[in-house]
Amino acid sequence: MPEAALPAPPLGLLEALRSARRPLVLTGAGMSAESGIATFRGGEDSLWSRFDPTQLATADAFDADPALVWAWYRWRMAKLRMSQPHAGHAALAALARLRPGLVLATQNVDDLHERAGGRGVLHLHGEIAATRCRRCDRPQAIEIDPAWAERPQLRAAPPACAVCGGPLRPGVVWFGESPPARALRAAIGAAQVADLVLVVGTSGLVYPAAGLPAAAPASVPRYEINPEPSALSAAMDGLWRAQAGVALPRLVELLAQ
């Protein structure tokens, strides 16, 4: 989106941010879209385009066909490893330095926030590269091969656990699994004491993450950055119909003025 097409921030957002001491920021797949990582609900052109990602991202799918699901995840791991954070990730990291009380909770399983300088990011849906054994649950790191993204294959057997021989699984929270308790507790706690909620690039369909804005006190202003309406839009005080990579740097720039 060219600079000229960027609408002004919604009324009150800048003022709320100026006085905020404990803002809560919730990001979703749309935050990574401009880094070239497809959202689940945005559709994409890949080997797996005939599969529904929400059907692949389950324990049942992995157990039924580990090679299909692992091949998809290792392709995603390699694509994420090769992608770069964008100006919006850097802007959020800068915002966190300006507002040390800021809490950043993400549904993203990539590490783009961290690679842009984000610290203490709460990963509500895990981290894809934190692979572990499906059978004994021991964490086991793997080498990520760029060829998995450059020459993807539709099937690949998952590596075997060095301890029990079980198949390794990605470190993501699959549909039907519970989010990591510590990250979720911290995010709910941050919502309860937040003085501003900013939601960026999420469809607001996946709970409990989508429930975080509602966990903030009723008087707290809530804003959304998303080019499209989401399931959370109706509960917001202001909507910024813009892309994260353009709107967030602009926000930080305006804040500095």
CA distances from 122 to 3, 47, 108, 242 (A): 31, 31, 10, 24
Burial 151-169 (b: 16+ CB within 10 A, else e): ebeeebebeebeeeebbbb
Distance CA(172)–CA(125), nearest Å, equals: 6
Closest approach, Cβ 237 to ligand NAD, in A, equals 18
Residue 189 interacts with, from Zn ion, ligand NAD, none (CB under 5-8 Å by kind):
none
Query: Does 13 sit near ligand NAD (CB under 6 A)?
Result: no
Query: Which of residues 44 and 137 has its CB atom nearest to Zn ion in the complex?
Result: 137
Q: Under the criterion CB under 6 A, does residue 119 sit at the interface with ligand NAD?
A: no
Q: Which residues on adjacent β-strands are paired with residue 76? A: none
- Enzyme catalytic residues: 125
Q: Which range of residues in 33-41, 59-67, 158-166, 214-222 is near ligand NAD by CB under 6 A? A: 33-41
Give which of 89, 59, 76 is closest to 127, Cα–Cα.
Answer: 76
Q: Closest separation between CB of residue 182 and ligand NAD, Å?
A: 17
Q: Among residues 133 and 246, whose Cβ is nearest to ligand NAD?
A: 246
Query: How many residues appear in the chain?
Result: 257
Task: Report, in this order, helix, strand and coil percent for the chain, each rounded to 5.
Answer: 35, 15, 50
Give 223's strand partners. Answer: 198, 238
Q: Is residue 162 within the footprint of Zn ion (CB under 5 A)?
A: no
Cβ neighbours for 115, distance < 8 A, ≥ 6 positions apart: 84, 85, 89
142 interacts with Zn ion by CB under 5 A:
no
Among 26, 34, 102, 198, binds ligand NAD (CB under 6 A): 34
Q: Measured from the CB atom, is 131 or 161 closer to ligand NAD?
A: 131
Residue 34 touches which of Zn ion, ligand NAD, none (Cβ within 5-8 Å per kind)? ligand NAD
Site membership for ligand NAD, residue 239 (CB under 6 A): no
Cβ contact 50:208 at 8 Å: no
Q: Residue 83 or 140: which CB sits closer to ligand NAD?
A: 83
Stretch that binds ligand NAD, among 23-31, 91-99, 138-146, 155-163 (CB under 6 A): 23-31
Taking a C-beta distance cutoff of 8 angstroms, is the pair 22, 193 a contact?
yes
Decide if residue 97 touches ligand NAD (CB under 6 A): no
Q: List Cα–Cα distances, 253 to 14, 49, 112, 249, 250, in angstroms.
A: 11, 38, 21, 6, 5
* 32 belongs to the binding site for ligand NAD (CB under 6 A): yes
Q: Give residues in contact with Zn ion (CB under 5 A).
A: 133, 135-136, 161, 163-164, 166
Q: Which residues bind ligand NAD (CB under 6 A)?
A: 28-30, 32-34, 37, 39-42, 107-110, 125, 200-203, 205-206, 225-228, 230, 243-244
